[in-house]
């Protein structure tokens, strides 16, 4: 390898093709440059025009998402992450991103660097990261391979997040054969800052020096962005060198130094070197500012000998940042990095004109207009066609399924399903309490953190049911948003904005692209009605294993704001004797339910239908009640339906399990399994003191929200009509041991 | 009374301790940078949790060579209080202010959860506000918290009443199922012979406010405060 340094391959159409560029794209590069690109330039174009960096296949569809709202300080796509005003001079910055492909070939490092990357996206804006969450998808946990995936991914997330000192406060996870061989690993980070601390990823001001700070550059992660933009194959293990290796200690130092830098007011811009490393950070900062930029590669601190300009420009070594310093304040910047024992090297400066010039020991190795790499990257309208499988799955009639005799057994089976069961085995590996702000520990519908020094609190939830999206992408997209919002609302927080990560198969396949478009349309509709604009996110295509695409899987990260954190509502029953209510209607809906999947082994039917206006009324009712501190608990009904919702409500995180006595008086024409396990939307379980029954009922009536009193909280045992009768201890044991017993 | 919190590169509970001492216990508090050669005019030194130097080599193994550690040792030898929490406890073991060593958790996994502790020594300056045998609920968060020492040291620890806390059940029973990390004799916190240095794996700063679900950690801070009245 060492000798290759001086022997650059000759650039040909064939070489461009192996870089993932089409013949048309190669021609376009020649037109832009007015000449053939050299090898380094070809590499630069190939990563910047990859789907991962350019969104070339998704841009026209993403334009459907609502990105407006008076609360948005920075809109989606303008910067590394969106910024939302939460009042009192504060803003939150948050974003979710995928690291699916790296995690598939190297679960521990893949997941760890996914966390590292998203943390940098947040502090690069000037915000202090205060929490992490994640959305994970794996194949069946009864298979050893997926147990290893889970162990590696959770270990990697814990390794990174714990060491940096940012609590992982929540998350969600599904296990399904459709994710076999192509796990999804999406990580979300949220930061808080004073509004005036906002830093742009912009290289403005001719003559301002450009600094490289943080870790050294090596050959790790070479071509990671391109690797993420193809399907996984049996040979993907060979791409392991495209996976980066993370050093969370370095990240922690970089985080502290960069925040000190922000407060020093010595910089004009900052951007992390994530996908496509130095290439992406230099071209994007110059492009945003509409300026030119020049850097000298001979100055780049390296960890390996004889690296070529191509390798340096494309390296995805972690924990590095590009900082644009205000001229004259270089010394202040160097002092801060020296304090933290980090490298800070001047690489070049902002230039007049519109080119990105990269030199190496006096030789120009790349000379490209930055806009050609960013705003002017190709955009494609892909063909979309409804997938054939839908005509079969839609025809499925759940009415033909035989109703099980032993409903206790069904409930226990569902509680033992890893998708539904307690995630304690996972979240106990994450430090979820560091920073001492986590006022709702994991296990709640949404995590809630306080903001020290004020009454306000933030709630956060991540959601996305891939099976619903598989059976009806539009409804599934709507539900992903609505459920995330409902989870946040259930804790007493008002939803304010979302970030999304869109995980799909190969967009060149018309049926995959149709799924993508329909899901986005559903998300857009829900965001409009619920007034939660999209602040940004990430698209991950090519999630396919040799058997086909994963479920179309959007993951929605919803942020909610609580004006007074003491108004928060727990997700578990709190007092014996409280009255239990179900708010919202239950319909004859079994399609796409976990009950059908787990008990009957059926992946078919229509998923529940969502009426967004009803959803909105439900939210308003709960938030009004929260302000009045009327309800003692509130739990969203989702996978596993009412029966699972009741069982979960018994199992508070810090106390012994409680019980419930429930009597369902619905019409006799509705099936018992539908009542117990159906997943109709816009429903929650709430409890109130018996003295507050009338008030709840009249408020619900006034809001037009169906409201049924179904029972009481008891000391122990779950009874539902004559159908379910289980010990609370058996429920708890089943629910809590489902994952550990498979993992140990 | 004034407290100083040492900040190593990689400390991440420094701010949490600062918050509790300033805003909850309401005493004077300052950060002490790891490159300082003095702890300043300080009564209590806190070595906070985190991953000092990335826990490279071994937890606490590099931090012990920080310039500030010589000053911390001097402070301890003068009989003044030093409290090491989690990574701080590991550093105290590495520097030799406390006997013993830390092993990886028996599960080989990081674990973050609430545990129960039994107060074994209620007479030290860190525990005067506790009753002998009092049960505390305080969270842990560590990957290497299995306390270990040789038999002679263990005998000495027991004989000198140096074991401050043990992991127990909610009702105070000892048992492997209540020991979250495989610590020898369920040890969760250790004092030096003189009783002015305490190392503990659980995080009292995470359980000193009602909003966090538990205030038991407060009693440890209040004990130190009382010792200085």
Domain borders along chain B are: 2-227
CA distance to partner chain A, nearest, from residue B179 (Å): 15
CA torsion A354-A356-A361-A364 (nearest 10°) is -70
Task: Count the helices and strands in chain B (H runs, E runs).
Answer: 5, 11
pLDDT band at A1 (very low <50, low <70, confident <90, very high): very low
> Is the pLDDT assigned to residue A2 strictly greater than 70?
no
Q: Hey, of A160, A163, A424, A431, which one would you mutate to test binding to chain B, going by the most B CBs within 10 A of its CB?
A: A431
Q: What is the model's pTM?
A: 0.96
Residues in B touching A164 (Cβ below 8 Å) = 12
- Of B205, B213, B13, B228, give the one whose Cα is nearest residue B129: B228
pLDDT of residue A593: 97
pLDDT band at A398 (very low <50, low <70, confident <90, very high): confident
pLDDT of residue A6: 54
Q: Does B9 contact A341 at a Cβ distance shorter than 8 Å?
A: yes
User: Is there a catalytic annotation at residue B205?
Assistant: yes
> Is the pLDDT assigned to residue A236 strictly greater than 70?
no
Q: Does A450 contact B15 at a Cβ distance shorter than 8 Å?
A: no
Q: Does B13 contact A432 at a Cβ distance shorter than 8 Å?
A: no
- Write down the catalytic residue from B34, B86, B120, B144: B86
Buried-state track A289-302, b at ≥16 Cβ within 10 A, e below 16: bebbbbbbbeebeb
SS3 of A271, please?
strand
User: Is there a catalytic annotation at residue A99?
Assistant: yes
Q: CA angle, A211 as apex, A209 and A214 as ends, to 5°?
A: 170
Residues in A touching B55 (Cβ below 8 Å) = 163, 249
Q: Does A164 contact B12 at a Cβ distance shorter than 8 Å?
A: yes
- Of B60, B42, B65, give the one whose Cα is nearest residue B50: B60
Pick B112's closest partner by Cβ from A431, A439, A654. A431
CA distance to partner chain A, nearest, from residue B11 (Å): 8
- B182 touches A at CB < 8 Å: no
- B12 touches A at CB < 8 Å: yes
pLDDT band at A237 (very low <50, low <70, confident <90, very high): low
- In sequence order, the β-bridge partners of residue B29 are B3
> pLDDT tens, A485-541?
999 999 999 999 999 999 999 999 999 999 999 999 999 999 999 999 999 999 999
> Is the pLDDT assigned to residue A716 strictly greater than 50?
yes
> pLDDT tens, A127-184?
999 999 999 999 999 999 999 999 999 999 999 999 999 999 999 999 999 999 999 9
Burial of A8 (0-12, 13-18, 19+ CB in 10 A): middle
- Of A583, A530, A522, give the one whose Cα is nearest residue A558: A530
- Chain A residue at shortest CA distance from B87: A163
CA distance to partner chain B, nearest, from residue A158 (Å): 8
Q: Does B212 contact A436 at a Cβ distance shorter than 8 Å?
A: yes
Pick B112's closest partner by Cβ from A253, A428, A435. A428
CA distance to partner chain B, nearest, from residue A310 (Å): 31
SS3 of A412, please?
helix
pLDDT of residue A241: 64
pLDDT of residue A365: 95
Q: Mean per-residue pLDDT for A363-379? A: 93
> Is the pLDDT assigned to residue A4 strictly greater than 50?
no
Q: Hey, of A436, A440, A564, A744, which one would you mutate to test binding to chain B, going by the most B CBs within 10 A of its CB?
A: A436
Burial of A225 (0-12, 13-18, 19+ CB in 10 A): buried
> Is the pLDDT assigned to residue A345 strictly greater than 80?
yes
Q: Does B9 contact A252 at a Cβ distance shorter than 8 Å?
A: yes
A457: which residues sit within 8 A by CB, 6+ positions away?
A: A439, A448, A449, A450, A451, A493, A561, A562, A564, A565, A568
> pLDDT tens, B9-27?
999 999 999 999 999 999 9
pLDDT band at A546 (very low <50, low <70, confident <90, very high): confident
Q: Does A249 contact B54 at a Cβ distance shorter than 8 Å?
A: yes
Sign of CA dihedral A29, A34, A36, A41: negative
A470: which residues sit within 8 A by CB, 6+ positions away?
A: A178, A393, A476, A515, A551, A552, A592, A603
pLDDT of residue A425: 97
Q: Does B9 contact A164 at a Cβ distance shorter than 8 Å?
A: no
pLDDT of residue A78: 78
- In sequence order, the β-bridge partners of residue B210 are none
Distances (CA, A) of A71 to A357, A416, A489, A531: 38, 42, 18, 11
Please check whether residue A187 is in contact with residue A115, taking contact to mean a CB–CB distance below 8 angstroms. Answer: yes
Q: Mean per-residue pLDDT for B35-51? A: 96
User: Is there a catalytic annotation at residue B177?
Assistant: no
A interface with B, Cβ–Cβ < 8 A, is 155, 158, 162-165, 247-250, 252-253, 340-341, 427-436, 438-439, 441, 450, 452, 565, 654
- The CATH architecture to which B2-227 belongs is 3-Layer(aba) Sandwich (3.40)
> Is the pLDDT assigned to residue A52 strictly greater than 90?
no
Helix, strand and coil percent figures for chain B, each rounded to 5:
30, 25, 45
Q: What is the mean pLDDT of chain B?
A: 96
CA distance A482 to A477: 9
- Chain A residue at shortest CA distance from B36: A339
Distances (CA, A) of A281 to A313, A719, B41, B103: 10, 59, 46, 42
DSSP state of B11: B
The token pair at A51 is 């789907």
pLDDT of residue A232: 66
In chain A, pLDDT over 90 holds for what percent of residues?
A: 87
Residues in B touching A450 (Cβ below 8 Å) = 211
- Write down the catalytic residue from A99, A159, A444, A619: A99
- Chain B residue at shortest CA distance from A437: B212
> pLDDT tens, A575-628?
999 999 999 999 999 999 999 999 999 999 999 999 999 999 999 999 999 999
Please check whether residue A423 is in contact with residue A135, taking contact to mean a CB–CB distance below 8 angstroms. Answer: no
Please check whether residue A80 is in contact with residue A271, taking contact to mean a CB–CB distance below 8 angstroms. Answer: yes
> pLDDT tens, B90-118?
999 999 999 999 999 999 999 999 999 99
Q: Mean per-residue pLDDT for A93-101? A: 95
Q: What is the mean pLDDT of chain A?
A: 93
């Amino acid at each position: 390898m060492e000798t290759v340094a001086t022997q650059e391959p000759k650039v040909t159409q064939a070489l461009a093709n192996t870089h993932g560029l089409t013949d048309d794209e190669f021609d376009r590069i020649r037109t832009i440059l007015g000449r053939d690109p050299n090898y380094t330039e070809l590499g630069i174009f190939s990563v910047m025009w990859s789907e991962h960096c350019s969104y070339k296949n998704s841009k026209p569809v993403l334009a459907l998402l609502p990105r407006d709202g008076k609360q948005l300080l920075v809109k989606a796509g303008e910067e590394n992450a969106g910024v939302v005003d939460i009042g009192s001079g504060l803003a939150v910055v948050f974003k979710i991103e995928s690291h699916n492909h790296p995690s598939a070939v190297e679960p521990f490092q893949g997941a760890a660097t996914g966390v590292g990357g998203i943390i940098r996206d947040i502090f690069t804006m000037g915000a202090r990261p205060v929490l992490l969450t994640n959305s994970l998808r794996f194949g069946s946990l009864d298979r050893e391979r997926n147990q290893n995936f889970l162990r590696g991914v959770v270990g990697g997330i814990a390794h990174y997040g714990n060491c940096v000192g940012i609590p992982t406060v929540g998350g969600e996870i599904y296990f399904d054969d459709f994710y076999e061989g192509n796990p999804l690993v999406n990580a979300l980070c949220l930061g808080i800052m004073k509004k005036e601390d906002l830093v742009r990823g912009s290289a403005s001001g001719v003559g301002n020096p450009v600094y490289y700070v943080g870790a050294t550059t090596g050959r790790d992660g070479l071509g990671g962005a391109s690797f993420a933009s193809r399907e996984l194959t049996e040979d993907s293990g060979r791409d392991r060198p495209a996976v980066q290796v993370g050093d969370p200690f370095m990240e922690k130092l970089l985080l502290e130094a960069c925040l000190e830098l922000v407060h020093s007011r010595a910089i004009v811009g900052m951007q992390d070197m994530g996908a496509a490393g130095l290439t992406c950070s230099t071209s994007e900062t110059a492009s945003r500012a509409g300026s030119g930029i020049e850097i000298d590669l001979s100055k780049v601190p390296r960890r390996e000998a004889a690296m070529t300009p191509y390798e340096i420009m494309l390296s995805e070594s972690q924990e590095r940042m590009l900082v644009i310093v205000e001229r004259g304040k270089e010394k202040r910047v160097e002092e801060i990095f020296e304090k933290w024992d980090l490298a800070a090297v001047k690489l070049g400066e902002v230039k007049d004109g519109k080119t990105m010039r990269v030199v190496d020991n006096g030789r120009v190795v790349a000379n490209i207009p930055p806009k050609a790499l960013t705003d002017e990257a190709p955009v494609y309208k892909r063909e979309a066609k409804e997938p054939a499988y839908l005509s079969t799955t839609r025809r499925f009639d759940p009415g033909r399924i035989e109703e099980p005799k032993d409903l206790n057994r069904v409930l226990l089976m569902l509680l033992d399903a890893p998708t539904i069961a307690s995630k304690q085995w996972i979240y106990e590996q994450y430090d979820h309490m560091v920073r001492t702000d986590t006022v709702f520990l994991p296990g709640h519908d949404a995590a809630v953190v306080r903001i020290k020094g004020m009454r306000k609190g933030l709630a956060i939830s991540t959601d996305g049911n891939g099976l619903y999206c598989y059976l009806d992408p539009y409804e599934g997209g709507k539900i992903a948003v609505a459920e995330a919002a409902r989870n946040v609302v259930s804790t007493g927080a008002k939803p304010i904005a979302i970030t999304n990560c869109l995980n799909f198969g190969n967009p060149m396949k018309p049926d995959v692209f149709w799924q993508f478009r329909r899901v986005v349309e559903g998300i857009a509709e829900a965001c409009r009605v619920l007034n939660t604009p999209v602040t940004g996110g990430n698209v991950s295509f090519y999630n396919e294993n040799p058997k086909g695409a994963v479920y179309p899987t959007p993951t929605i990260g919803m942020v909610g704001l609580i004006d007074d954190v003491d108004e928060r509502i727990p997700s578990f029953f709190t007092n014996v004797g409280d009255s239990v209510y179900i708010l919202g209607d239950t319909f004859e809906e079994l399609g796409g339910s976990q009950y059908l999947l787990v008990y009957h082994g059926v992946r078919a039917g229509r998923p529940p239908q969502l009426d967004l206006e009803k959803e909105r009324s439900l939210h308003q009712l709960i938030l009004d009640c929260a302000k009045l501190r009327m309800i003692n608990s509130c739990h969203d009904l989702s996978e596993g339906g009412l029966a699972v919702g009741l069982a979960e409500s018994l199992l508070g995180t810090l106390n012994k399990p409680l019980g419930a006595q429930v009597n369902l008086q619905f019409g006799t024409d509705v099936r018992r399994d539908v009542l117990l396990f159906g997943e109709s939307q816009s429903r929650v379980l709430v409890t109130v003191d018996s003295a507050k029954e009338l008030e709840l009922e009249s408020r619900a009536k006034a809001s037009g929200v169906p409201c049924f009193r179904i029972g009481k909280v008891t000391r122990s045992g779950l009874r539902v009509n004559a159908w379910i009768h289980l010990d609370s201890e058996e429920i708890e044991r089943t629910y809590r041991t489902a994952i550990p017993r498979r993992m140990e | 009374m004034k407290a100083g919190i040492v900040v190593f590169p990689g400390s991440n509970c420094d701010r949490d301790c600062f918050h509790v001492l300033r805003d909850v216990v309401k005493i004077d508090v300052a950060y002490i940078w790891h490159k300082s050669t003095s702890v300043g005019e300080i009564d209590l030194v806190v070595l906070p949790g985190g991953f000092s130097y990335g826990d490279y080599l071994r937890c606490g193994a590099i931090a012990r060579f920080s310039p500030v550690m010589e000053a911390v040792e001097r402070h301890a030898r003068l009989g003044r209080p030093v409290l090491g929490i989690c990574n701080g406890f590991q550093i105290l073991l590495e520097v030799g202010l406390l006997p013993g060593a830390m092993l990886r958790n028996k599960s080989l996994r990081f674990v973050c959860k609430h545990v129960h502790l039994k107060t074994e020594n209620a007479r030290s300056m860190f525990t005067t506000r506790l009753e002998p045998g009092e049960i505390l609920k305080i969270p842990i968060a560590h990957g290497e918290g299995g306390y270990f020492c040789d038999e002679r040291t263990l005998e000495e620890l027991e004989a000198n009443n140096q074991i401050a806390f043990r992991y127990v059940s909610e009702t105070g029973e000892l048992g492997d199922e209540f020991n979250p990390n495989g610590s020898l004799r369920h040890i969760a916190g250790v004092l030096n012979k003189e009783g002015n240095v305490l190392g503990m794996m659980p995080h009292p700063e995470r359980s000193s406010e009602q909003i966090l679900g538990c205030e038991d950690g407060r009693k440890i801070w209040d004990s130190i405060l009382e010792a200085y009245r």
